[in-house]
Amino acid sequence: MTSHLPRSTRDFRGYGSEPVDPRWPGGARLAVSFVLNFEEGAEFSVSDGDPMNEAVYEVVDRRDGPDPCIDSHFEYGTRAAWWRMMALFERYKVPVTVSACGQAVARSPQLARDAVARGHEVSAHGWRWESHAGMAEVEERAAIRRTVETIELATGERPLGWHTRSAASNNTRRLLVEEGFLYDSDAYNDDLPYWLPVAGRRHLVIPYAFDTNDMHYFHTQRFAGQDFADYCTGAVDWLHQEGAKMLSIGLHLRMIGRPGRIGALATILQHVTAKDGVWIARRADIARHWLATVSPDAARTGQGRVE
């Protein structure tokens, strides 16, 4: 029978019914990765000379010219929310991955340094808070390199991971491999990391998630107060029951860092840290563990399933 489906590199099978055993440290049944997105100062702002303002924020009231309202919403993240959230992570002794835009680090390098001093990972989230879809290769290569150099200059540590806002380009993953990244999180298609062949090398993908993400406070207004905590703790409990899984929980300074929402994060941290068999890890630590434990022969590169 002749197939009329278009040619595609998409993988709908993944691990299938026989997922690889990640053998998480300490016999943990679940790895949990908290990702704190640090984007403030990298968003588009007419006040900064950009042709437009960022549209995703508390109030839906777009302006074509300078908008001190939206500017101040982003400033809240670095002025107030950062310290509130860092104190909470420290209280529960939870390490996180700070996914940082290069321009945000350039404007607030003291926050990137503070993250490293507290034992957190600073990974790369693009130079600007923008999609890379359609970006010219020479422009994208320069943006990736500039982001790496800025984070390394501020923290003394080279970022090992990358995550693009929204869609990556057709070149992004290859450019990341050429730049020496250990992993990227430009995928949302699994509950476990997996290997891919990229530019003749094996490359690790650590999937991210948009459902266990506080962006729903803005996008849909469906989360109120503890709703987000209920959703995330439910995901923790379900994957813990399945075993041998990973969960990403995405956070934003200007979103869950507000006083009316921070209690939801406290509930999540309390639940996860009190649960036996949970490994809370930075994404770089998950990547290093995968590199040392799960070979491409066990989970075949490009297929992502146990053979």
Which structural domains are found in the chain, ordered by start? 25-293 (3.20.20.370)
- Percentages helix, strand, coil for the chain (3-state, rounded to 5) are 40, 15, 45
- Helices 137-155, 172-179: crossing angle, 10 deg rounding: 40
The phi and psi torsions of 94 (rounded to 5 degrees) equal: -105, 120
The pLDDT value given to residue 222: 62
**3-state secondary structure at position 27:** helix
The pLDDT value given to residue 174: 98
* DSSP notation for 62-116: --SS--HHHHHHHHHIIIIIHHHHHHHHHHHT---EEEE-HHHHHH-HHHHHHHH
CA distances from 151 to 90, 104, 105, 229 (A): 22, 10, 7, 31
Helix (H) or strand (E) holding 30: strand 30-38
Structure pTM? 0.93
CA distances from 221 to 129, 228, 251, 258, 265 (A): 22, 11, 15, 15, 17
Helix spans in the chain (H): 68-76, 82-92, 102-107, 109-117, 137-155, 172-179, 216-219, 227-242, 253-256, 262-274, 283-293
**3-state secondary structure at position 36:** strand
Q: Of 264, 180, 190, 276, whose CA–CA distance to 237 is shortest?
A: 276
The pLDDT value given to residue 305: 34
Q: Residue type for 41, please?
A: G
The pLDDT value given to residue 2: 54
pLDDT tens-digit profile, the chain (307 residues) = 456 767 778 899 999 888 899 999 999 999 999 999 999 999 999 999 999 999 877 666 778 899 899 999 999 999 999 999 999 999 999 999 999 999 999 999 999 999 999 999 999 999 999 999 999 999 999 999 999 999 999 999 999 999 999 999 999 999 999 999 999 999 999 999 999 999 999 999 999 999 999 998 887 666 677 899 999 999 999 999 999 999 999 999 999 999 999 999 999 999 999 999 999 999 999 999 999 999 776 654 444 333 2
The pLDDT value given to residue 307: 29
Q: Which two tokens stand for residue 31?
A: 């790895």
112 vs 39: CA distance, rounded Å: 12
